[in-house]
Amino acid sequence: MTAETTRRGQVKVLFVDDEFIEFRALKKKIADLSEPAIELEYSQSIGDALEKVRAARFDLILLDNRLLPNADFRDTVPELRGIGYTGPIGVVSTDISGGYFQEFPNYGVDFRIGKDEIDVQALQHIIREYVTYAVPDFWKDDYSI
């Protein structure tokens, strides 16, 4: 866990989707999630997301594949990376079967997930896999030299 995440005791997630109803659905899905605590923020456009990322630190960005006007992750993720965001970015889409999704690592995307697949367990897995990595205590002595 990053030092900032540990201090806050929560993971700060930015959800970017042009449909507010998708944000509401995600909030409902994770309402019962107590570990880790999640601070979820919403942006309706890539422009708004860029402003929020410049102004605050996020541990994870969940980004809708298509944002108006018809831009997909091949346009939006490089914009986020271009302003210096180095944390994990997951592309969220209703349909992740398109051939161009195979290219996602080339654009700075860490993972992709279907909107219907996001639930408490999936989000906990994503956070463990991409946001936090606990080094076992017995390894820590090796780095204290």
DSSP state of 31: T
Three-state DSSP class for 114? strand
How many whole angstroms separate alpha carbon 134 and alpha carbon 108?
A: 24
- Confidence class for position 68, pLDDT limits 50, 70, 90: confident
Q: If 0-12 CB within 10 Å is exposed, 13-18 middle and 19+ buried, where does residue 84 land?
A: exposed
pLDDT at 128: 87
Three-state DSSP class for 132? coil
Sheet holding 111-114, edge to edge: 37-43, 10-16, 60-64, 89-93, 111-114
How many whole angstroms separate alpha carbon 139 and alpha carbon 38?
A: 28
Q: What is the CATH number of domain 10-139?
A: 3.40.50.2300
- Confidence class for position 44, pLDDT limits 50, 70, 90: very high
Euclidean distance between the first and the last CA atom of the chain, given in angstroms as a whole number: 22
- Confidence class for position 110, pLDDT limits 50, 70, 90: very high
pLDDT at 61: 97
* Degrees, nearest 5: CA angle 80-24-9: 65
What is the number of alpha carbons within 13 Å of residue 104 lying toward its C-beta? 21
Rounded to two decimals, the pTM is 0.81
pLDDT at 134: 54
What does the pLDDT average to over 44-70?
92
DSSP string, 11-24: EEEEEE-S-HHHHH
CA distances for 7 relative to 4, 32, 120, angstroms: 5, 22, 23
